[in-house]
Each structure stands twice: as structure tokens, then as C-alpha cells.
């Protein structure tokens, strides 16, 4: 009886864990304005841009990271490229803000808002689901 209870408890615990999701994380691409002239950049450089550690493009313009926090691609982007959960990322930026190291990046509510922001700000960088990339944006070639 005790063994049966223990097995059922472990099974319920495994199925109800908050980090287990039935839906896979949506794929994403890192995007910039089509006029932004760049060769391939490394994943390390992109990570540093989105964490506010690289603040200038090679031409001297300020890098404006744009987070697409309410889109399905955000979780995959945060985990795979930034090595942080969404909660860890929010905490990271709050610490930078309250310590005076930087301002909070722009937080878009959806892919259309990302497209509009990057259209207006050619020095911005963001990420979108694969099927949401439209003119005047282009995918950025991110190498290892």
C-alpha cells in the first residue's frame, strides 16, 4: 500500500512540475532591420547584446534590444540563447535597472509590435517566430 502511494505521488509530481510543458517552445530567428549591414555574428555576441553588455554596433550606433515577451518564441529564445528562464531574465534586468547599470530594454507585446519598432529603429535587434519575419526585417546569421 505504501509503495503504491509513493509511486502515484512520484508520477503526479513528475506530471505536474511547472517546467514540464506539453507544448514545445516555438522556434525563433534573431532579426534586424534590412539596412543593418552585418556579417555573421556569434551567439556569444548576440547574447551580450540582449543582456546589455554590448551597447554599440560596429558603426557606433547604440544597440536597442527588443524583447518579445508575450510571444511563444520568448521561452525558447531565453533558454537557448540567453541560458535564462523568463523569470531569471526579468530579475536580471531589474537588478541592472536598480543598480543604475542600464535602462530596461523595450518589451513588445506581440510580433507586430516588434516589426513596427524595428521598422522605426534600424539599430534595434529582436527575435521572432520563423513565420513572422516580414519586410523590412531580415534574419541575422548567428554562428557558434
Question: Distance of CA 124 to CAs 30, 78, 97, 99, Å?
Answer: 11, 18, 19, 24
Q: What is the reported pLDDT for 74?
A: 86
Would you say residue 61 lies in a domain? yes
CA dist 129 and 114 (Å) reads 11
Q: How confident is the model at residue 33 (pLDDT cuts 50, 70, 90)?
A: very high
CA dist 102 and 54 (Å) reads 12
Q: What is the mean pLDDT of residues 20-37?
A: 72
| Count: domains in the chain | 1
Q: What is the mean pLDDT of residues 112-138?
A: 92
**pLDDT tens track for 63-117:** 999 998 888 888 888 998 899 998 899 999 999 999 988 888 999 989 999 999 9
CATH of residue 138's domain is 3.40.190.10
User: Mean pLDDT across the chain, nearest whole number?
Assistant: 81
Would you say residue 3 lies in a domain? no
Would you say residue 15 lies in a domain? no
Q: Can you give the pTM of this predicted structure?
A: 0.77
Amino acid at each position: 500500500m505504501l509503495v503504491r502511494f509513493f509511486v502515484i505521488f512520484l508520477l503526479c509530481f513528475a506530471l505536474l512540475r511547472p517546467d514540464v510543458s506539453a507544448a514545445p517552445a516555438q522556434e525563433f530567428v534573431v532579426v534586424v532591420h534590412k539596412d543593418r549591414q552585418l556579417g555573421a555574428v556569434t551567439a556569444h555576441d548576440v547574447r551580450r547584446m540582449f543582456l546589455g553588455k554590448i551597447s554599440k554596433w560596429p558603426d557606433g550606433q547604440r544597440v536597442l534590444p527588443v524583447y518579445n515577451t508575450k510571444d511563444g518564441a520568448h521561452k525558447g529564445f531565453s533558454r537557448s540563447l540567453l541560458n535564462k528562464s523568463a523569470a531569471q531574465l526579468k530579475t536580471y534586468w531589474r537588478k541592472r535597472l536598480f543598480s543604475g547599470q542600464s535602462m530596461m530594454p523595450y518589451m513588445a507585446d506581440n510580433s507586430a509590435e516588434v516589426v513596427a519598432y524595428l521598422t522605426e529603429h534600424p539599430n534595434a535587434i529582436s527575435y521572432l517566430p520563423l513565420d513572422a519575419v516580414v519586410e523590412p526585417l531580415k534574419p541575422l546569421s548567428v554562428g557558434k
